Amino acid sequence: MERLETEVLVVGGGTGGTAAAIQAARRGAQVTLVSEFGWLGGMLTSAGVPVPDGNELLAWQTGLWGAFIAELSQCQHGGLDHSWVSCFSYEPKVGAQVFADWVAALPNLRWISGQVPREVTRDGDRITAVEFEHYSITAQVIVDGTELGDLLALGNVPHRWGWEAQELWDEPSAPPQKDLDGDPFYQHYPVQSPTWIVMLRDYGEGVEAPLIPAPAFDVDDAFGGAGDRFGPDRLLSYGQLPADDAGQPSYMLNWPIQGNDYGFGLERLRGNEQDWQDWASEAIAYSQGFAHYLQREYGCRYGLATDCFPQSSADHDFGGGAFAFHPYYREGRRGIGLASVIEQDLLPQAKGQVAALPRDQAGNVTAIALGNYPNDHHYPEREIKLAPKARRWGGRWTGTPFTIPYGALVSESVDGLLFCEKNISVSHMANGATRLQPTVLGTGQAVGMAAALCVERGCQPRNLEVRALQEALITDPVAPSAVVPLYNLSPEHPDWRSLQRFYLDNPDQYPSDGEHPGLELGQMKAKGSGEDFKHSGKLCLADEKDGYRISHPDFAEGLMLITLLPEVEGVMRSLQPGTTVEVSGSLNPAGPWLRVTGIKLLN
C-alpha cells in the first residue's frame, strides 16, 4: 500500500468533490482527489444527468457553474438548447472532458481514480487520514465528496438519515411524529429515490434498432401510463441531448411519472457491499425495463444509445455504454453541522421573492453558495405536498433563490473534515432543493476554497473566518462566485463585486424582491446561447399561465419566449400586448421556445 501526504484530500469525484478539488488547487493548495470512476463530475457526467436543473438565470450563472456552462457552449456541437426540463443539454462525455481538462491544467492537483474509501483514521475528534485499497492518504483537511456520505459512516461522524418530524424544526411540509411512527411509507422510503440513468436513441424512420430485452417483471404494471400526461414526444424530449453526426438525437431516461426512479429497499444503500450490489442490479434492470417499454410502445426506431458511456462503465448484460457509471443519487447520509439548512431557509420572505440571508449569532451573513430550484421530492408511491417557492420570471417558471450557510459544511463535532455533496447539514425536506447539480457545484467550490484557506491559515474549518471565505469567492481570479443572489445583478455587471460586498455588510437592506433598486443594466450575453434565430411579430399578453409569446405563422398560440437575461426580462415585462418587436436568440424545438438574447421595438 502506498502512503501519501497532502494538504487537502478530496474523496469522491462527483459534482461537489470535483469542484472542491479544482478550487482548492487553483487557490494554491496541494490537493489529492480520489475518485471511484474514470470520469469526474458525478451528477453532471458519470451519473448521466447532462440536463441540469436550477441556477439557469444569468444572475445565478457564477463561479464554477457559470464557467462550466460557458465552456460547454464553446465545445458542445449543436449548442445547448435541446430539452425542455433544462436550458442546458449536452453530451455526458463533453462535460466529463471539461472537468478533466481543468484538472489536468493544475500541477498541484493529483487525481487518482479507481479507488473507494475503506477506512478512516481519527485522532480523537479529528479525522487525519483515509485508507483505500492501494493508498493510505494523510491530509490537513479532508473533504467528503462521496455520493452517499461514505466518510460519515466510516469515520463515525454524527449524521442523519431519513425523515425529521415536523416537531423538530416546524418545517411546513414535514410529517408529524405520529405519521412517522404509524405510516410504513416513511420507513419504506427513508431517502429520495435514486435513478439509474439509461440513454435511448432515435435511429430514424424505418430503422429497426436492436431489441431491448424484456425484464423479468411486468412492464405495464411498472410503467403503464408513463406518457399519458405529456405524450411520447414530450416524454422523450424532456431530457433530449444534442444529435450525433448522423443527426440522431439521444434521450436521457430520468422520467419522474411512472418512470425509472427506483426507490425499493433503500436501506441497502447504506448496507454492506452485497446489499448495494443487489439493489444496483435491480435498479439497472428497472431502467432497462423502462427502455424496453418505450421501445415497445413508441417503435423500434428507438434503441439503446450504446456509445454515451464507456462500455466498461458497469458490468451489464445488456446495453453496455447506454447506462451511466453509477446511480443518480438524490440523497444519502447528511452530516450534522454547525448550522443546518431547513425548509424555511429556502422559502421566500413574506411578500418577497428571495429567502432571507442566513446569519450567525452576531448578525453576520454566512452565505457561501446559492441555489434556486423549487423543492422537489421523488418517491414511488406518493407525491409529497411541499411549500411553494416558485415564480414566473423571464417568461418561464423558476425557483426563488436561497443560500447555503458555511456552517452547513462543517461538522458540529469532528475536526479536519468538510462536507461538499448531498451530505451537507440539511434536513430531509430541504434536501429536495439543495441537492441539485448547480447548487452542489457551488457548495463544492466554497468547500475547496475553505479547505485551501484553512491550510494557508493553519486553522480548523470551524475556526475559519466566514467573511474571508466570502471575499475569496467573490474575488477568485478564474471563477468568481456570488454569495448574495440578486435577479438583476449579472456576473458581468461592473458593480457585481461591490454590490456583493454591500449586502454582506448591510444585510438589513437586502431587498425582499431580490432586485437591487435603480440598477442600470448593461448589454450582457447569456452563456450557452447563440443568436442564430431572428423573428419579428407582435408580443402577446403575458400572464401567470402562458408567459410571453410572439405571433408566428407556425405556432397558432404564438411562439413562447423565455429569457435568462435581466435586461431582456425588464423590456418584455414593460411592453404592452400587441407591441411589434424583433427578437433574436436560440430556438429550442423541445420547448418549444425561443431563448431571447436580444429584443428590439419596431413601433
Q: Tens digits of per-residue pLDDT, 473-511? A: 999 999 999 999 999 999 999 999 999 999 999 999 999
Give, in order, the Cα–Cα distances in Å from 260 to each of 220, 227, 328, 409, 437. 13, 13, 11, 31, 19
Which residues neighbour 74 within 8 Å (Cβ) at sequence distance 6 or greater? none
- Residue 327 pLDDT exceeds 70: yes
Query: In the prediction, which pLDDT does 531 show?
Result: 58
Question: What DSSP string runs through 244-283?
Answer: -TTS--EEEE--SSSSSB--SSGGGGGS-HHHHHHHHHHH
- Indicate the residue type of 458: G
Q: Tens digits of per-residue pLDDT, 506-563? A: 999 999 999 999 887 654 444 444 557 899 999 886 555 668 999 999 888 899 999 9
Query: Rounded to an integer, what distance in angstroms lies between the CA atom of residue 12 and that of residue 334?
Result: 15
What mean pLDDT do residues 4-22 have?
98
What mean pLDDT do residues 444-464 have?
98
H or E segment to which residue 144 belongs:
strand 135-144
- Residue 110 pLDDT exceeds 60: yes
Query: In the prediction, which pLDDT does 530 show?
Result: 52
Phi/psi of residue 313, each to 5°?
Answer: -65, -30
| pLDDT category of residue 350 using cuts at 50, 70 and 90 | very high
Q: Calculate Rg over the CA atoms of the chain.
A: 23
* pTM, entire model: 0.96
Name the nearest CA neighbour of 437 among 25, 31, 92, 38: 92
Which is it for the CA torsion 295, 252, 399, 266, positive or negative?
A: positive
Query: Rounded to an integer, what distance in angstroms lies between the CA atom of residue 1 and that of residue 333?
Result: 29
Tell which CATH architecture fits domain 2-161+330-340+404-484.
3-Layer(bba) Sandwich (3.50)
What mean pLDDT do residues 197-207 have?
95
- Residue 69 pLDDT exceeds 60: yes
Q: Report residue 248 as a C-alpha cell.
A: 440522431
Q: Where are the domains of the chain?
A: 2-161+330-340+404-484, 198-322, 533-601
H or E segment to which residue 450 belongs:
helix 437-457
Q: Tens digits of per-residue pLDDT, 297-324? A: 999 999 999 999 996 544 444 446 999 9
- Residue 83 pLDDT exceeds 60: yes
Pairing type for strands 2-11 and 31-35 reads parallel
The percentage of residues in the chain with a pLDDT greater than 90, rounded to a whole number, is 89
Q: Is 407 helix (H, G, I), strand (E, B) or coil?
A: helix
Residue 162, number of CB atoms within 10 A of its CB: 16
Query: In the prediction, which pLDDT does 526 show?
Result: 41
| pLDDT category of residue 210 using cuts at 50, 70 and 90 | very high
Q: Report residue 180 as a C-alpha cell.
A: 412517522
Instruction: Tell me if 450 sits within 8 A of 416, measured CB to CB.
Output: no
What mean pLDDT do residues 567-589 have?
91
Q: Is 352 helix (H, G, I), strand (E, B) or coil?
A: coil
